Every structure is written in C-alpha cells, then in structure tokens.
C-alpha cells in the first residue's frame, strides 16, 4: 500500500480530484485538510492556503494516478509524491486493495 500526497488550490478542487480518482478505482479513499504553504514561483515568494490530499492506493496504481492527475489538475506543476506503507492494520490494507482491484 502507498499514500499519495497531492496539493490542490482549494477544497472544491481537492474534492473533485478525490472523487475522480475514487470513481476510476485508482485510489480507495482520501483525507483532505487545509495547509499554509510558502514557496517560490516564477521569481516571487508565495504564501497561500492550499489543501492536501492524502490518497490511499497500491503501488501498482501509482503511475495511473500520476497520469490522471497531470491531466485533470489545475496546477501547472502539481505536487504528486508517494511513500510506501510498510506496516499497518491488515483489515484496512485489505480494504484498500479490494477498493482498487
């Protein structure tokens, strides 16, 4: 199982992205929460509220998730990174596997 970390510009976009990926069976579920971000973009330092999506899926779906996000995301350069979950509640991991298969 992996978690995919994605940022979005607002709650509506985060929910649209989450729903789209769930409907396509690319992810099982998400958590969405607001964050304060600071970054340099095109020469200027930006300070903005964004929304983080933590999507749960399996490693085999990562490339499809990334491709789908690149097509639907409103950002020119979206943050799409993942990390492997090595241990966890077996029942939850089994549920994630079932949702994306």
Q: What is the CATH number of the domain that holds 70?
A: 3.30.70.120
pLDDT at 20: 98
36: Cα separation from own chain's centroid: 17
Going by pLDDT thresholds of 50, 70 and 90, the confidence category of residue 14 is very high
Q: Count of domains in the chain?
A: 1
Predicted confidence band of residue 16 (pLDDT cuts 50, 70, 90) = very high
Burial 23-43 (b: 16+ CB within 10 A, else e): eeebbbebebeeeeeeeeeee
Instruction: List, for residues 74-100, the tens digit of each pLDDT value.
Output: 999 999 999 999 999 999 999 999 999
What pLDDT is attached to residue 64?
98
| Angstrom distance (rounded) from CA 80 to CA 91 | 26
Domain that holds residue 18: 2-100
Q: How confident is the model at residue 32 (pLDDT cuts 50, 70, 90)?
A: very high
């Amino acid at each position: 199982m992996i978690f995919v970390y994605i940022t979005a510009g607002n709650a509506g976009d985060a929910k649209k992205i989450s729903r789209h990926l769930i409907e396509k069976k690319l992810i099982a579920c998400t958590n969405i929460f607001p964050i304060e971000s600071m970054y340099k973009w095109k020469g200027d330092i930006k300070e903005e509220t964004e929304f983080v999506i933590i999507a749960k899926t399996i490693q085999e779906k990562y490339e499809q998730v990334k491709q789908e996000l690149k097509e639907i995301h409103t950002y020119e350069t979206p943050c799409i990174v993942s990390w492997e979950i090595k241990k966890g509640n077996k029942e939850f991991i089994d549920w994630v596997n079932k949702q994306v298969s």
